[in-house]
């Protein structure tokens, strides 16, 4: 499933650094990390490390090494998407899970990344959605169990890495997808759409539940009356109310091999029905006209919403933030995802915004970092290759100027990035960001 970057063999050594282990929230100081080609060759105390004489030495003094970050919910097969791929690496995101695409397009990009002609993250690809109604992105419609089975077979024939289920999928079609995916050994992930519940989706084998879709908010009688006046789009995206305690449901989901990708960063603009990017703002310089037009279609926002309705957006969004913390407390593993580039943050940078939201939800910095590193590795059943800094693992690493376990904002203080064994220093990363601009 995971695609390695095929780059020229090189030797690197990050000397006398602190290595962060997101799997257990610990830090080992005074370490040297030796990288040969696309793999980590050794991690050892600096005094004992054997650094090859011809290795390029990178001073890690006072710095911290973490595994490369993952964005587990992106949509890069959009106009101008290819030009935005370097922004992920520039912000320490060395892997993405693409949730909708033309498979042949992203496979070409993967080949270019492997060949060294394109800077970008490793990609895990879903191909077209399986949906219950037409949407303005590649899709297959399934309304029955038999159509769900055929959709899985069709996508398997395309060579997708996993199946993405989307909105308006009737329960029969979803369970048809689930059964056929299980028979063929293919992961499926995506939205939860009523009347299917998150627990039903989890029990059926859905690997990840996106956007907190389908999760109701536990409300008092007074809150239920209050939120009944909310705009329908707020209710759709932020959930309705229930008097049923949700803790036992979260506990049941936690017992399944199911992850939740909250994508709080993409939900925030919906609070005020603000467009993700507008002409003249700091992000506009990275988004071409075609992408801007596509975003207006995919992320269309209502206008002239009464003030009393608009005011309910923030308290409903706060419920989603609190729900994220409650899921984590119940033991449900979380993943960082951003819907990039359909957000108010640029690709790559949005992951750091999402990490901040996870801490705001009550996670410790260690737990938030885990959601962007170790949990993706567990999700992919790839802990032998990803998720920690250890000998034999893929050399996808980020060198930070501060300890992310002390302050999650330190993930933004990037001194250098290693993707597939290739090192980019701070000036080169700045150049990637400048090079992605399409406007002055």
Query: Is residue 6 one of the residues assigned to a domain?
Result: no
Q: What confidence tens digit (pLDDT) does each residue in 113-154 have? A: 999 999 999 999 999 999 999 999 999 999 999 999 999 999
Torsion angle of C-alpha atoms 282, 72, 268, 346, degrees rounded to 10:
0
Pairwise CA distance, residues 123 & 107, whole Å: 9
The 10s digit of each residue's pLDDT in 397-415 is 999 999 999 999 999 999 9
pLDDT per residue over 258-307, tens digit each? 999 999 999 999 999 987 788 888 888 999 999 988 888 888 889 899 99
Task: Tell me phi and psi for residue 56, to 5 degrees.
Answer: -80, 125
pLDDT tops 60 at residue 5: no
Pull the structure tokens for residue 125. 């690809």
Average per-residue pLDDT in the chain?
Answer: 95
Q: What is the pLDDT of residue 295?
A: 85
> Does the pLDDT of residue 86 top 60, yes or no?
yes
**130 to 100, 140, 168, 176, 340: CA distances (angstroms):** 10, 5, 10, 11, 20
User: Measuring CA to CA, how many Å separate 421 from each of 9, 11, 61, 387?
Assistant: 8, 8, 20, 15
* Per-residue pLDDT at 276: 76
pLDDT at 48 > cutoff 70: yes
CATH number at residue 254: 3.20.20.140
**Residue 4 belongs to a domain:** no
In the prediction, which pLDDT does 9 show? 61
Query: Does 203 map to a domain?
Result: yes
Note whether residue 439 is domain-resident. Answer: no
Q: How far is CA 380 from CA 1, 55, 97, 328, in A?
A: 8, 32, 10, 19
Q: Which two tokens stand for residue 355?
A: 């990490």
Residue 246 to residue 231: CA distance in whole angstroms: 23
Binned at pLDDT 50, 70 and 90, residue 247 comes out as very high
Mean pLDDT in residue range 74-78: 96
Asked whether 131 and 166 are in contact (CB, 8 A), the reply is yes
* Structure-model confidence comparison of residues 344 and 97, the more confident one: 97
d(CA 37, CA 26): 27
Burial of 183 (0-12, 13-18, 19+ CB in 10 A): exposed
Q: How many domains does the structure of the chain reveal?
A: 1
User: Domain of 166?
Assistant: 69-384
Q: Does 13 reside within a domain?
A: no
Residue 226: alpha-carbon gap to chain centroid:
33
Whether 209 maps to a domain, the answer reads yes
Is pLDDT above 50 for 4?
no
d(CA 44, CA 15): 10
420 in a structural domain: no
Q: Whole-model pTM?
A: 0.96
From residue 266, give the alpha-carbon distance in Å to each of 30, 88, 156, 211. Answer: 38, 17, 29, 9
Q: Rounded to an integer, what distance in angstroms lies between the CA atom of residue 405 and that of residue 21? A: 10
Question: Which tens digit of pLDDT belongs to each residue from 99-112?
Answer: 999 999 999 999 99
β-strands 64-67, 397-400: how paired? Answer: antiparallel
* Rounded distance between C-alpha atoms, residue 130 and residue 19, angstroms: 41
Longest CA–CA span in the chain (Å) reads 71
Extract the tokens encoding 292. 């801007």
pLDDT band at 64 (very low <50, low <70, confident <90, very high): very high
| Domain annotation covers residue 101 | yes
């Amino acid at each position: 499933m995971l695609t390695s970057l095929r780059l020229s063999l090189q030797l690197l050594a990050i000397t006398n650094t602190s290595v962060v282990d997101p799997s257990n929230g610990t830090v080992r100081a005074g370490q040297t990390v030796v990288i040969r080609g696309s793999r980590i060759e050794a991690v050892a105390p600096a005094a004992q490390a054997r650094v090859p004489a011809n290795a390029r030495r990178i001073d890690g003094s006072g710095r911290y090494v973490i595994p490369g970050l993952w964005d587990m919910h992106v949509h890069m097969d959009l106009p101008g998407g290819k030009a935005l791929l370097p922004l992920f690496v520039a912000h320490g995101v060395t892997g993405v899970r693409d949730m909708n695409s033309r498979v042949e397009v992203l496979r070409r990009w993967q080949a270019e990344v492997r060949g060294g002609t394109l800077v970008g993250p490793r990609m895990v690809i879903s191909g077209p959605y399986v949906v219950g109604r037409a949407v303005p992105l590649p899709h297959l419609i399934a309304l029955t169990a038999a159509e769900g089975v055929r959709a899985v077979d069709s996508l398997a024939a395309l060579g997708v890495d996993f199946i993405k289920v989307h909105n308006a999928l009737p329960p029969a079609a979803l369970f048809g997808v689930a059964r056929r995916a299980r028979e063929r050994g293919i992961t499926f992930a995506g939205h939860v759409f009523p009347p299917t519940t998150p627990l039903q989706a989890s029990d059926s084998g859905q690997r990840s539940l996106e956007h907190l879709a389908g999760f109701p908010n536990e409300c008092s009688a007074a809150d239920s009356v209050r939120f009944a006046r909310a705009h329908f789009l707020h209710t759709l995206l932020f959930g309705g109310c229930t008097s049923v305690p949700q803790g036992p449901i979260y506990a049941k989901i936690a017992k399944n091999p199911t992850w939740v990708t909250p994508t709080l960063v993409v939900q925030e603009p919906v609070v005020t029905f603000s467009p993700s990017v507008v002409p003249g703002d700091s992000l506009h310089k990275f988004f071409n006209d075609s992408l801007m037009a596509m975003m207006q279609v995919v992320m269309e926002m209502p206008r002239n919403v009464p003030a009393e309705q608009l005011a309910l957006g923030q308290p409903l969004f706060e419920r989603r933030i609190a729900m994220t913390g409650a899921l984590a407390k119940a033991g449900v593993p979380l993943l960082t995802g951003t819907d990039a580039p359909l957000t108010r943050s640029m690709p790559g940078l949005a992951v750091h915004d999402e990490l901040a939201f996870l801490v705001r939800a009550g996670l410790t910095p260690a737990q938030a970092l885990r959601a962007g590193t170790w949990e993706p590795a567990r999700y992919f059943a790839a802990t032998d290759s990803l998720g920690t800094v250890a000998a034999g693992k893929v050399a996808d690493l980020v060198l930070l100027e501060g300890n992310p376990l002390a302050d999650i904002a330190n993930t933004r203080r990037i001194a250098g990035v290693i993707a597939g064994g290739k090192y980019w220093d701070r000036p080169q990363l700045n150049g990637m960001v400048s090079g992605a601009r399409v406007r002055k």
